Structure 1
Amino acid sequence: MEPYEYADLDAVALRGLIRGGEVTAAEVEDVARRALARADEALNALAGPPFAPGEMPHRAPDGPFAGVPFLIKDGGPFARGVPFTVGSRAVRGAVAREDHELMARFRAAGLAVLGRTAVPEMAFSFATESRRYGTTRNPWAPGRGAGGSSGGSAALVAAGAVPMAHANDGAGSIRVPASCCGVVGLKPGRGRVPCGPAVGEASFGQSAEFAVTRTVRDAAHLLDAVAAAPVGEKYEAPPPPRPYAEMIRTDPGRLRVAVSTAAAAPVDAQVAAVAVNAGKVLEWIGHEVAEDAPGVEPDDVVEAMMLSVFAAGAMLKAPERLDRSLLEAVSRRLLAETEAATALDVLAGVAAQHRATRPVGLFFTRYDLLVTPTLARPPAPHGALAYDDPGHTARSWLRRLFEYGPFTAPFNVSGNPAISLPLGQSREGLPIGVQLVAAHGREDLLLQVAAQLEEAVPWKDRKPSVLTGA
């Protein structure tokens, strides 16, 4: 297998070739390692060197993705025996003591995990830039950011180094980099995919774990492999009527779709136009489309997101060896505000979460789907979101993030499933993502409509300037 052939295949196609005997898993891993080295040299998207062969054992040889190359995010304790830094110089010698439940499912799926992807410090930025690992570059335009906090994963998937990679999302960290890098970013709804054991459990159901992919079918097949809450999980989503991989091949029928490009922050005209066009395509397909949006107050989103601030602060306090003097400025502030917080501060965040969640729930009694831009602007230049800025409080940092990405966090607060699709490009050729949001438990509907859009507005033939094997 040549690198250009490998880079053109999604995970389902690769697994089909391995199962059919046309290529061995060892051959796929060899080409993936070469592709990963070339892509990382251009993008700076890995958190340290790739794992040595055999360093990540215990993957199922007969799993649905057996032998398919994969990466995990350096976002905290995730894989047993694997070091983590959460993108911080202050975290030293930290090693995960057990597998996250999702990591155990990745192993059962047979994924060949080759390394860790870069994140901003504490995974608390929409730009993957840190003093520990430097700047991760966008494969479409190396002078632009890859988004965050799963920017390393999204950049390497877009560049053809791996067909999909682990990502998680506390305010948009799957969908934002997916939009920046021109890939698919599914944030499952609350209770669909396990979030523990990890600090993500402390974010009051606002964090979600999954992956970024290049195709909708990979997202559907991977969700089939890892979904379902473990016994005793605080949040559970209802099971789908059939496997997602089957449902994306069926028509969801005529749906009620709302489109909104309005936000508290200015929205770039090109970005808004791509979302509006997605609504027109859905209308052409046969859905009923109107202009509308949930009435969520931006201040309630910020206050509810303080719960995630406290979760990030708890993550900072978790490592046994933490050199606070090496933390970046916003992290120091998050830690200080977490340590100063009282039970009343936490209850205020919970109350704000309820105030934001109720109008979203009511909205989805009137509509099946919401369409918005993913970001307010195309991918930002490096340094536009300066995390090491001592002028920020936790709330001012959240507001700065939401000027860039005002559309994603409300659905972390409410827990609805959402997906970013690479449906457009700017005049400069930069990716523009469109977000689809569905009601609780309706990942099936979300993926069905995403598959319709992938067929109607295909993105497979659009390639970034940094592409393995090009």
Structure 2
Amino acid sequence: MAAPFQVPRPDIKFAESLANLPKNLNIAYTTESPVGTPVSEEAKEAVLNAVQVLKAAGFNVEPADAPIDGIALMRSYYVMNAGETATLFANMHLSDQTIKENVEPLTWALAVTGRSITAVQYSQALSTWDSIESDMDEFQQAFDLYLTPTTAHQAPRVDQQLVSDENMAKLIHITDYSPQDQLQLIWDQWLPALTLSPFTQLANISGQPAISLPTYVGKNGLPLGIQFIARKGREDLLLQIGKFFEDTGQFKLKQLS
């Protein structure tokens, strides 16, 4: 199995290849959240607008969802995150009180939750990532690019509460809960943020290169992007598709007053 994270091929000269976008690309697209959460109509419209641009240019574009269990992906990420946060603080040799008083409640909750993560759970998370990597590699044998929204919704207001008061209290008192309930709380408190942005984690975990393009501005003046994911080592193709959208006047940039 190929390594999950690779550097681009040394024979590819990005600057020289920018104008060499292949004409026979097969592109898959989706507007469905991989974790089953709602996707705004404007995020869907951003993707569908891009689909029309691609079809008009002669590319083969068709709807297809990546064969990935997005919930399993994110749960494995939370297990990994908790375990690594616990390891980070264990290596600092600080007291619990010192840690709790100097980090955010979520960081404290992750550190406590991670102490109960077993070697089996950690290894299972790694196996999940290996499976995702393999499944995406197979999926993209048929598709050169995979198009999704970058985010499912526009950016929230800076004062929008993404963790409920109830869950915040639970994070602070995370030691009162069983290991299973701790992991569920990590999921519950992250779900509002995951609802806003459920698409970008796939490339992070599968090790594929991805690019976000600013092609849409909503009625309220806030931007929404589209994301392309390519096969490993095909950063050149992402830069080429980005140049195509820029050259065809599809970048929508609007400064907020």
Question: Taking structure 1 as the reference length, what is the TM-score of the superposition?
Answer: 0.46
Letter in 2 for 1:448: Q
Q: Which structure 1 segments of 5+ residues have no match?
A: 1-189, 192-204, 206-234, 466-470
Please report how far the alpha carbon of residue 460 of structure 1 lies from its aligned counterpart in structure 2 after TM superposition: 7.0
Question: 2:217·2:252 contact (CA, 8 Å) conserved in 1?
Answer: no
Question: 1:312·1:334 contact (CA, 8 Å) conserved in 2?
Answer: yes
Q: CA 1:315–1:451 in 2, change beyond 3 Å: closer, same or farther? A: farther
Please report how far the alpha carbon of residue 458 of structure 1 lies from its aligned counterpart in structure 2 after TM superposition: 4.2
Please report how far the alpha carbon of residue 326 of structure 1 lies from its aligned counterpart in structure 2 after TM superposition: 3.0
Aligned partners of 2:44, 2:193: CA distance in 1, in Å? 18
1:268 aligns with 2:45: no
Deviations 1:136-177 (A, max 9, x none): xxxxxxxxxxxxxxxxxxxxxxxxxxxxxxxxxxxxxxxxxx
Aligned partners of 2:225, 2:215: CA distance in 1, in Å? 6
Q: CA 1:340–1:461 in 2, change beyond 3 Å: closer, same or farther? A: closer
Higher helix content, 1 or 2: 2
1:383 alignment partner in structure 2 = 160
1:284 aligns with 2:48: no
Please report how far the alpha carbon of residue 431 of structure 1 lies from its aligned counterpart in structure 2 after TM superposition: 0.7
Please report how far the alpha carbon of residue 281 of structure 1 lies from its aligned counterpart in structure 2 after TM superposition: 0.9
Seq. identity, %: 24
Corresponding residue SS for 1:391: helix
Question: 2:29·2:146 contact (CA, 8 Å) conserved in 1?
Answer: yes
1:339 aligns with 2:115: yes
1:301 alignment partner in structure 2 = 73
1:396 alignment partner in structure 2 = 188
Please report how far the alpha carbon of residue 394 of structure 1 lies from its aligned counterpart in structure 2 after TM superposition: 2.4
Question: 1:258·1:370 contact (CA, 8 Å) conserved in 2?
Answer: yes
Aligned partners of 2:12, 2:82: CA distance in 1, in Å? 37
Runs of 4+ off more than 6 Å: none
Question: Taking structure 2 as the reference length, what is the TM-score of the superposition?
Answer: 0.81
Q: CA 1:460–1:319 in 2, change beyond 3 Å: closer, same or farther? A: farther
Aligned partners of 1:329, 1:352: CA distance in 2, in Å? 28
Q: How many residues align?
A: 234
Aligned partners of 1:294, 1:460: CA distance in 2, in Å? 27
1:256 alignment partner in structure 2 = 26
1:351 aligns with 2:127: yes
Aligned partners of 2:89, 2:101: CA distance in 1, in Å? 12
1:373 aligns with 2:149: yes
Question: 1:309·1:334 contact (CA, 8 Å) conserved in 2?
Answer: yes
Letter in 2 for 1:329: P
Question: 2:212·2:226 contact (CA, 8 Å) conserved in 1?
Answer: yes
Instruction: Within 5 Å, give how 1:92-241 maps onto structure 2.
Output: 235-241=5-11
Aligned partners of 2:237, 2:126: CA distance in 1, in Å? 29
Corresponding residue SS for 1:254: coil
Q: CA 1:307–1:461 in 2, change beyond 3 Å: closer, same or farther? A: closer
1:445 alignment partner in structure 2 = 237
Task: Let me know the Cα RMSD of the aligned residues.
Answer: 2.4
